[in-house]
């Protein structure tokens, strides 16, 4: 692995960024669509693919699966999305072997919903030496998820596509990436009803055929949201293009409440800043269409620069405030009240620091914090940011930010 870091010259309170920034295809859509290619008899073409590290890892896993239905252990242990492959592999080949999936450390990330789902669909599970071995010919089942889970919804939806009979998934996740995938699979012979609602009905059937129809990766709504927050913090005239504004509704409503002015186009959002300070707004993360947990850290940076006191209530994960200490070191007034709640008082001037993001999304939040800080910050471990954001330094440079990648 090529080790590098970002060096960022902070702007302090200057609203200096301007220009246009394009949003790339969604990481959490393409990873699942790549996994779904197992359900196809023919080749699937993917468009608008971000060439990020996680996509490379998923491709490597797919190549490995050509030999046998077993996920490459080292890779799967580093990529949470690897679990999504288990559904299509089991449904197609009648067996799959995989380790407990890794990924960003955000607190507990169990896989009980997946295992319960496979059992309900008639599979048998053996755990041996840290590996799960699942076998069986899948049949449709009625599954009620006790918690809403994005990847469990996607994985069981994919498994059900080739299972025998009808599957009903209740209390399913409604993220737009699920809708995008189901829509594509339906054009290729699947029968998935209700994607984008809490109840999915899937009539299992035969193997899918793309017949030359490509999967077009939808724009990344987390990237869109991060750019919006960056523009609100440090931009005076920034246009975000190639995005889907309606997928950012929760964030836009909070930014509007904070006093940020923006204009929404069909696939663009423009921010024009006045000189007034944004007002603090409290945030509660929620499954889509609520405020995404993946924007929680970036929103915390925003709140360090807003006038007043606000709290962030993190309802999805129980270990997602690991960034708080670093922001405090930079001068933020931030206090972790409990594993689900932080309080932030602003505005506070931030000073440059050497930082290292505890996870992908917090890594990007550190780039934002470094942008509004006084002085030159270093954000170590660029790899964790490269997992989800394509050439971020090149794209942010075009807005006028002095950010450079340096090899270590
Ligand atoms: C997806 O993770 C995303 N990852 C995450 O993005 C995102 O933060 C998360 O959804 C929430 O939106 C991918 O799509 C690859 P969950 P996922 O299962 O599916 C509990 C990023 O940076 N749960 O919806 O793993 C779980 O512990 C990443 O791009 C169980 O209890 O999240 C959590 O509290 C980070 N049992 C809650 O459900 C299970 O079997 C929701 O997590 C599964 C999950």
Which residue's structure tokens are 């939040």? 365
Task: Give the containing element (helix H, strand E) for 193.
Answer: strand 191-193
Which pLDDT value is given to residue 102? 77
Q: How far apart are the first and last CA of the chain?
A: 11
Mean pLDDT for 147-155 is 97
Task: Work out which ligand 1 atom sits closest to the CA atom of 106.
Answer: 35
Residues, the chain, total?
Answer: 408
**104 has catalytic annotation:** yes
Least confident of 76-80, 103-107, 282-286: 103-107
pLDDT of 170-207, one tens digit each? 999 999 999 999 999 999 999 999 999 999 999 999 99
How many percent of the chain have pLDDT more than 70?
A: 98
105 — pLDDT class (breaks 50, 70, 90):
low
Cα–Cα distances in angstroms (integers) from residue 147 to residues 111, 143, 316, in the given order: 12, 12, 10
Quote the pLDDT of residue 2. 64
Q: What is the pTM of this model?
A: 0.96
| Whole-Å CA distances, 196 to 12, 175, 289, 340 | 41, 7, 10, 27
- Residue to mutate, 151, 223, 290, 319, ligand 1, most ligand atoms under 8 Å from C-beta: 151
pLDDT at 86 over 80: yes
- What is residue 287's predicted lDDT score, i.e. its pLDDT? 98
Q: Report whether 238 contacts 261 (CB < 8 A).
A: no
Predicted pLDDT at 273 = 77
Residue 5 confidence (pLDDT) above 90: yes
Q: Is the pLDDT of residue 9 over 80?
A: yes
- Which of 71, 104, 156, 255 is an active site residue? 104
User: Whole-number mean pLDDT of the chain?
Assistant: 96
- CA-based nearest residue to 79, from 91, 95, 93, 62: 62
Read off the pLDDT of each residue in 135-152 and give the average, rounded to a whole number.
Answer: 97
pLDDT at position 103: 66
Measure 57 CA to ligand 1 centroid, in angstroms: 18
- Residue 399 · residue 21 · CB < 8 Å: yes
Pairing of strands 268-272, 235-241: antiparallel
365 CA to middle of ligand 1, Å?
19
Mean pLDDT of 263-268: 98
Around ligand 1, the residues with Cβ closer than 6 Å are 27-28, 31, 80-81, 104, 108-114, 147, 149-152, 293-294, 316-317, 360-361, 388
Would you say 92 and 38 are in contact if contact means Cβ atoms under 8 Å apart? yes
Domain boundaries along the sequence of the chain: 4-24+219-407, 27-216
346 in Cβ contact with 337 (< 8 Å): no
pLDDT tens-place string over residues 363-379: 999 999 999 999 999 99
Which segment of 11-20, 21-30, 107-116, 118-127 scores lowest on mean pLDDT? 107-116
The region of weakest confidence among 253-267, 270-284, 336-350 is 270-284
* pLDDT (mean) for 252-273: 95
Residue 316 assigned to a binding site: yes
Q: Which of 100, 147, 251, 360 is the pocket-test mutation for ligand 1 (most atoms within 8 Å of CB)?
A: 147
Cα(62)–Cα(82) distance, integer angstroms: 10
Looking at the chain, the whole-number percentage of residues with pLDDT higher than 90 is: 93
Which distant-in-sequence residues (6+ apart) come within 8 Å of 346 by Cβ?
A: 280, 303, 304, 305, 306, 307, 308, 332, 333
Nearest CA residue ID for atom 9, ligand 1:
150
Query: From ligand 1's centre to the CA of 146, what distance in Å?
Result: 14
Neighbours of 158 (CB within 10 A): 30
Check whether the bond before 347 is cis (ω within 30° of 0): yes
Asked whether the domain spanning 27-216 has the same topology as the one spanning 4-24+219-407, the reply is yes
300 has pLDDT over 90 = yes
Q: pLDDT-based confidence at 140, cuts 50/70/90?
A: very high
Q: Is 113 annotated as a binding residue?
A: yes
Contacts of 366 (CB under 8 A, 6+ apart): 323, 326, 355, 356, 357, 377, 379
Q: How confident is the model at residue 408, as a pLDDT?
A: 87
- Given the candidates 3.40.50.1110, 3.40.50.300, 1.10.1380.10, 3.65.10.10, the CATH classification of the domain at 4-24+219-407 is 3.65.10.10
Given this model, what pLDDT does residue 366 score? 98
Q: Domain spanning 27-216 has what CATH number?
A: 3.65.10.10
Contact 281, 306 (CB under 8 A): yes
Query: Strand pairing of 333-338 and 341-346?
Result: antiparallel
SS (H, E, C) 286-325: CCCCCECHHHHHHHHHHHHCCEEEEEEECCCCCCCCCCHH
Over residues 252-276, the mean pLDDT reads 93
Q: Ligand 1: which residue has its CA nearest to atom 40?
A: 111
Residue 107 has pLDDT above 80, yes or no: no
For residue 40, the model assigns a pLDDT of 98
pLDDT score at 110: 87
Cα torsion at 107, 220, 155, 291 (round to 10°)?
A: 50
């Amino acid at each position: 692995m090529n080790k590098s870091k970002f060096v960022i010259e902070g702007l302090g309170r200057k609203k200096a960024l301007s220009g246009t920034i394009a949003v790339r295809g969604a990481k959490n859509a393409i990873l699942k669509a790549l996994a779904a290619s197992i359900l196809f008899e023919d080749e699937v073409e993917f468009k608008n693919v971000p060439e990020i590290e996680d996509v490379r890892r998923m491709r490597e896993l797919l190549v490995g699966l050509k030999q046998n239905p077993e996920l490459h252990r080292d890779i799967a242990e580093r990529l949470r999305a690897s679990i999504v492959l288990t559904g299509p592999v089991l449904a197609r080949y009648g067996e799959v072997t995989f380790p407990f999936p890794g990924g960003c450390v955000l607190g507990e990330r169990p896989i009980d919903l997946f295992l319960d789902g496979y059992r309900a669909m008639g599979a048998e599970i053996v755990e041996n030496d840290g590996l799960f071995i699942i076998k069986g010919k899948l049949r449709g089942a009625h599954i009620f998820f006790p918690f809403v889970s994005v990847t469990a919804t996607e994985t069981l939806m994919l498994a059900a596509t080739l299972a025998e009979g009808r599957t009903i998934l209740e209390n399913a996740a409604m993220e737009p990436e699920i809708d995008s995938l189901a829509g594509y699979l339906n054009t290729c012979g699947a029968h998935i009803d209700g994607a984008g609602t809490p109840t999915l009905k899937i009539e299992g059937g035969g193997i899918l055929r793309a017949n030359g129809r490509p999967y077009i990766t939808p724009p990344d709504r987390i990237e869109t949201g991060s750019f919006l927050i960056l523009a609100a913090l440090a931009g005076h005239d920034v246009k975000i293009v190639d995005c889907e504004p309606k997928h950012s509704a929760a964030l836009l409503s909070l930014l509007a409440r904070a006093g940020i002015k923006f204009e929404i186009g069909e696939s663009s959002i423009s921010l024009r800043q006045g000189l007034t300070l944004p007002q603090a707004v409290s945030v509660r993360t929620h499954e889509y269409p609520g405020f995404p947990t993946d924007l929680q850290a970036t929103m915390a940076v925003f709140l360090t620069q807003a006038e007043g006191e606000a709290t962030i209530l993190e309802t999805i994960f129980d270990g997602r405030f690991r960034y708080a200490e670093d922001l405090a070191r930079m001068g933020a007034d931030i206090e972790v009240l409990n594993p689900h709640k932080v309080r932030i008082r602003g505005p506070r001037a931030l000073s440059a620091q050497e930082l290292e993001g505890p996870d992908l999304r917090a890594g990007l939040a550190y780039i934002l914090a470094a942008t509004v800080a006084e002085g030159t910050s270093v954000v170590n471990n660029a790899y964790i940011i490269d997992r989800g954001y394509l050439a971020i330094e090149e794209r942010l440079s075009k807005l006028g930010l002095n950010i450079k990648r340096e090899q270590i």
